[in-house]
Structure 1
Amino acid sequence: MKTQTHHPQTFRALPTHSKPLDTNRLAVLFEQQIALYKSNLRSSSAEYETALKSIPLGAHSTFQSFDPYPISIASAKGAWMTDVDGRKMLDLSMGFGSMLAGHLNPEVIAELKATLDVGTLYTAPSPDSRDAAERLCRRFGIDQIRFTNSGTESTMYAIRTARAYTGKEGVVKVEGGYHGSGDAVMVSTKPPLDKAGPADSPNSVIGNASVPGESYVVPFNNIQALENVFEKHYSTIACFIVEPVLENIGIVLPDEGYLEAVRQLCDQYKIILIFDEVKTGLTAGPQGAAQRLGITPDLICMAKSIGGGIPLAAFGGKEEFMRPVTDGRMPHLGTFNGHILAMAAVRAVDKIFTPTALAKAESLNIQALTRIQEMIDIYELPAHTVGFGVKGCVTWSDTPVRNYRDYKATNFQVAELSFIWSLNHGIMTPPGLDEQWLISLAHDQAEIDFMVNDFKELAKTLRG
């Protein structure tokens, strides 16, 4: 079978050769790391037990809670955090991109402090909210934008806008793709394979307590499967929502030509193309993933990196497709939309996320990916590195992951060990076995050396 080439603006390095890992050794190492975790994180354990009394799972997002208990953070600055046990930890999660500027970035803090002299919430139009909209429209190459408060809100309203514009209800999404917790997209985010159906024609596996309406699921990087769904159901399909680079199951890169073919099919069948750039956005580059990859969606969803650490999201796009908001077919409401502190953060973000600044962060990321891949080759690990912009990850497979089914075939045993290992060795990575690291403007050579050296120690330990 021919190996597919990934998009040239993305990074993937496969191992030259690899050998299997000893599963029994992995199990022993994991138990050792769990014991170390419990020994070193007694204050986090106590905080967790106290939090359980007032907070389900002890955290305000289900994703933040994991076994045996999550680490509780006391403070953060730059690229580092300090937990309640007093341990200093390198932050490679960075709020999934929300902290792209780094913790307590001076430019962001200065804008926030200045804004506190004039107000916080107006619940009315303001030159500040108009200015912020103009800045993001200019940066992302779109006509109009509306602010929201979370990525979930943005994807929810983008889909509603598409439904109102087309007068149709159907939503197509990618198997394994995550677009927040709105009902319309709580379908086949990480479905069990015994319910997911054939790989080339997946079922819509509905999430717990969700009522998505008409939904269809397709595999990523399979243009024929998408065309089959469009051809059969185009008369009732409003939109296709997709991350241009999947960042819910590691980092899954688009094949060269895939997104171009998606754009063409959406035009052919008059289906609105929505890019979910909640997690890519400015982490992909100074103008986001769409412009970097050379594809223009009809609507785009943004969050995380555009807010400098302040809760902020948005959806927008071509004026034609935003018209339902204007003419009342799709009322968009929200008391906190255009919050003045968030608008201040946009001003700071627009100032600091220059092509030069993001290029430096990306060069550090490429260095980390390349050096870690060298360790993978030296220790013959069944793994490879993948990256896009300032994000990267180690995928525990010696073959490319092009879709959800490939992801499900990766080695979750070693992924879980790697996650706990990092937490025990002073590195905060996102919860879960399939997230990616992020190199922010606050990371520098010392931080790259720290993470690479830690991976080297893990690799040596895996091989004994």
Structure 2
Amino acid sequence: MKTQTHHPQTFRSVPTHSKPLDSARLEKLLEQQLDLYKTKLLSSGLEYQLAVQNIPLGAHSTFQSFEPYPISIASAKGAWMTDVDGRKMLDLSMGFGSMLVGHLNPEVVSEVRASLDVGTLYTAPSPISRDAAERLCRRFGIEQIRFTNSGTESTMYAVRTARAYTGKEGVVKVEGGYHGSGDALMVSTKPSLEKAGPADSPNSVIGNASVPGESYVVPFNNIQALENVFSKHAKTIACFIVEPVLENIGIVLPDEGYLEAVRSLCDQYKIVLIFDEVKTGLTAGPQGAAQRLGVIPDLICMAKSIGGGIPLAAFGGKAEFMQPVTDGRMPHLGTFNGHIMAMAAVRAVDKVCTPAALEKAESLNIQALTRIREIIDEFELPAHTVGFGVKGCVTWSDKPVRNYRDYKATDFQIAELSFLWSLNHGIMTPPGLDEQWLISLAHDQGEVDFMVNDFKELAKTLRG
């Protein structure tokens, strides 16, 4: 069977050989790290006990809560955080991309402070919001844009816009893909394999308490499966929504030619193509993933990296496909849309995220990926490195991951150990076993050395 080549603008390095790790030893190491966590994070434990009295799970997003309890943060600046136990931690999560320019970036702070001299919320059009829209349209190569306040709002309204444009209801998405928590997209985000059906023709597994409407699910990197769904149901399908690079299950890269084939099929069957760039956006490069990968969708969803840490998101695209917003077929509403502080943050991020600045951050990321790959080879670990733009991850499998079923075959025992190890050794990673690190504009050589050296210590411990 021929090995699929990933898109040339992405990074993946799979080892030529590896040796399995002992599961019993891993379990013992996991117990040790869990005990160490509870010993080191006494103040976080106390904060959690207080928080759960008023906050379900002790956190304002279910994803932020994990066993035995999450780390509570007291402050952050640049690439570093300080937790309530006084530990300084290297932030490799960076708000899943929201902190691309670093915590308390001086330009963001300056612009936001200046905005407080003129207002916070107008709930009316303003030259400030018009300027922000012009900047993002110019940068991402789109014609029209509307601001929202979260990635969920953006994907929800993009789907509604596609439905209004086509007069159809059906939504097609990728198995394992996450597009926020709107009902239409809470389908097969991370389904159990018992419910998921055949690998080449997955079921739509509906999330708890969701009412998605007509939905179809396809495996990533399988153009034939997508065409099968389109050919059977095109008369009722409004859109296909997809992350151009999946970033909910590690980093899953598109095969070379896959996105181009997706674009062609959507044109052929007159189905709206939506790129969810909530997690890629500027982390993919100065103009986002669509421009970098050379495939242009009809609508695009953005958030996180465009806002400098201020709640901000947007959806937009070609004027033709935004017409339902203009003519009233799809009213888009929101009191806080175009919030003055968020518009100030757009201005700051647009100034700071120059091609040179992002190129430097990406070069540091490639260095980290390459050095960690060398450690994987040295210790013959069943793992490989994957990257896109300023993001990277270690995937605990010695085989490429091209879709959700491949992801489910990775070693979650090692992933959990690696997660706890990082938290115990001064590195904040996202609270999941399938997320990626981010090298922000605030990271430098010292931070890369810190993370690489820590991974080497983990590798030594894994091999004993």
TM-score by length of 1: 1.00
CA deviations on 1:3-57 (whole Å, 9 max, x unpaired) are 0000000000011210000000000000000000000000000000000000000
Partner of residue 190, structure 2 = 190
Structure 2: unaligned runs, 5 residues or longer = none
For 1:230, the equivalent position in structure 2 comes to: 230
1:293-332 deviation per Cα after TM superposition (whole angstroms, max 9, x unaligned): 0001000000000000000000000000000000000000
1:386 and 1:94 map into 2 onto residues whose CA distance is 18
Cα distance in structure 2, aligned partners of 1:156 and 1:346: 22
Q: Tell me the alpha carbon deviations over residues 197-248 of structure 1, each in whole angstroms, 9 at most, x when there is no partner.
A: 0000000000000000000000000000000000000000000000000000
Counterpart CA distance in 1 for 2:274 and 2:174 is 12
**1:115 matched to which residue of 2?**
115
Q: Distance in 2 between matches of 1:409 and 1:203?
A: 19
The AA in structure 1 aligned to 2:118 is V
**Secondary structure of 1:76's aligned partner:** strand
| Alignment partners' CA distance in 2, 1:263 and 1:113 | 42
* Structure 2 residue matching 1:32: 3-state secondary structure: helix
Q: Any unmatched runs of 5+ in structure 1?
A: none
* Alignment match, 1:449: 449
Question: CA offsets, 1:62-100, max 9 Å, x none?
Answer: 000000000000000000000000000000000000000
SS of the equivalent of 2:385 reads strand
Structure 1 CA distance for aligned equivalents of residues 199 and 461 of structure 2: 36
Partner of 1:220: 220
1:430 corresponds to 2:442: no
Partner Cα separation in structure 2 for residue 350 and residue 96 of structure 1: 19
Helix, strand or coil for the counterpart of 1:111?
helix
Q: Which residue of 2 aligns with 1:168?
A: 168
**How far apart are the structure 2 equivalents of 1:308 and 1:69?**
27
Q: Which residue of 2 aligns with 1:178?
A: 178
SS of 1:194's partner is: helix
- What does the per-residue CA deviation read over 1:230-286, in whole Å, with 9 as the maximum and x for residues that have no partner? 000000000000000000000000000000000000000000000000000000000
Q: What code does the residue aligned with 2:188 have?
A: S
Q: Does residue 1:388 correspond to 2:388, yes or no?
A: yes
Q: How many Å separate the matches in 2 of 1:397 and 1:432?
A: 17
CA distance in 1, matches of 2:368, 2:297: 31
Aligned to 1:458: 458
- Please give the residue correspondences for 1:50-449 in structure 2 after superposition, counting only pairs within 5 Å: 50-449=50-449
Question: 2:9 corresponds to which letter in structure 1?
Answer: Q
Deviation at 1:152, TM superposition (A): 0.1
Q: State the one-letter code of the partner of 1:388.
A: F
1:254, 1:177 → 2: CA distance? 13
- SS state of the match for residue 240, structure 2? strand
SS at 1:454's partner residue? helix
Is 1:45 aligned to residue 45 of structure 2? Answer: yes
What amino acid maps onto 1:300 in structure 2?
Answer: I
Instruction: Measure how far apart 1:354 and its partner are.
Output: 0.3
CA positional deviation for 1:449: 0.1
Partner Cα separation in structure 2 for residue 445 and residue 15 of structure 1: 25
The SS at the match of 1:240 is strand
SS at match of 1:398: coil
Partner Cα separation in structure 1 for residue 62 and residue 125 of structure 2 = 34
Amino acid at match of 2:346: V
Aligned residue for 2:261, secondary structure, equals helix
Normalization by structure 2: what TM-score? 1.00
Distance 1:166 1:185 in 2: 18
Partner AA of 2:179 in structure 1: H
**Counterpart amino acid of residue 23 in structure 1:** S
Provide the aligned length of Structure 1 versus Structure 2. Answer: 464
2:145 aligned partner, one-letter code: I
C-alpha separation in 2, matches of 1:265 and 1:140: 23
Letter in 2 for 1:340: I
* Secondary structure, aligned partner of 1:19: coil
Q: Distance in 2 between matches of 1:339 and 1:118?
A: 12
3-state SS, counterpart of residue 129 of structure 2? helix
SS at match of 1:146: strand
Give the Cα separation in 1 of the matches to 2:391 and 2:55: 31
Q: Distance in 1 between matches of 2:295 and 2:309?
A: 28
- AA aligned to 2:268 is Q
Distance in 2 of aligned mates of 1:113 and 1:206: 44
SS at match of 2:256: coil
C-alpha separation between the residues in 1 aligned to 2:174 and 2:346?
30
Q: Which amino acid aligns with 1:411?
A: D
State how far apart, in whole Å, the 2-side matches of 1:2 and 1:28 are: 39
**Which secondary structure does the structure 1 equivalent of 2:239 belong to?**
strand
How far 1:287 sits from its partner (Å)? Answer: 0.1
> What SS does structure 2 have at the residue aligned with 1:265?
helix
Distance 2:276 2:113 in 1: 31
Matching residue's letter, 2:138: R
> Matches of 1:118 and 1:278 in 2, distance apart?
29
The letter for the 1-side match of 2:63 is F
Deviations 1:407-426 (A, max 9, x none): 00000000000000000000
